[in-house]
Amino acid sequence: MIVQGTLPRWMGFLWALMGFPYVQTNMICLFERYAGDISWRHSELPFSNYVIRESRSRPKVTLVARMAASVGNYDYIFDWEFQTDGLISIKVGLSGMLMVKGSPYENLQQVSKKNDMTGPLVSENVIGVVHDHFITFHLDMDINGVDNSFVKVNLEKKKTVPGQSPRKSYLKAKRKVAKTEDDARLKLKLSDPTEFHLVNPLKQSRLGNSI
């Protein structure tokens, strides 16, 4: 049984204590997650008789802030996951009900033009419609202040001078600071691995790196 929305807080608490679920608006849930991963491990090269190894002893526990949004037939689950190494990852999960439409067909054998189907038959007379979901994030970053730059770092293949090295080519990291918003537009390509950095060029670390 689900009570929608507007229960006073104490009643909702009592309700939950009795084991009944209820909906509270504008809430997120916050929890630690251990998914069985390790945060760090290492086996040192065996230069001596001693094997120096640390593994399985540091579990990767992350802090997750989760929001679930029910939109029509779907429930989107947004997980902001904070890791101990400083990494923040965002995962979007989709649950709820499939988007379907009716079909005169009960079996694919009845379909003469299979390419005209808008999706697979998921049951008799029911098509699961193939479509896209676009999730857009507006990230307003403040890295050590508001004066931030967006940097693309690509690996570029460079050829060595003939006779200079047994190697014919090498990889060079090329940094490009986006001057305009248009400059910062990008298309992700698996064939062109790229790092994206957000830095404050006005602040430097002890080593002179922008932070």
Q: Which residues bind Cu ion (CB under 5 A)?
A: 99
Single-letter amino acid code for the residue at 92: V
Please provide the size of the chain in residues: 211
- Interatomic CA distance for residues 149 and 200, integer angstroms: 6
CB of 99 to Cu ion, least distance (A): 5
Which of 53/133 has CB closer to Cu ion?
A: 133
Residue type, 193: P
Q: Are strands 74-82 and 126-128 parallel, antiparallel or unpaired?
A: unpaired
Tokens 């307003």 sit on residue: 140
Residue placing its CB nearer to Cu ion in the complex, 64 or 126: 126
First-to-last C-alpha distance (Å) of the chain: 51
Considering the complex, what minimum distance in angstroms separates the CB of residue 128 from Cu ion?
Answer: 9
CA separation for the pair 94, 7 (Å, rounded) = 28
Which residue's C-beta sits nearest to Cu ion? 99
Q: Hey, what are 11's tokens?
A: 């009643």
Closest contact distance (angstroms) between CB of 120 and Cu ion is: 14
127/199 with CB nearer Cu ion: 127
Q: Closer to Cu ion at the Cβ: 76 or 150?
A: 76
Give the shortest CB-96-to-Cu ion separation in angstroms.
Answer: 9
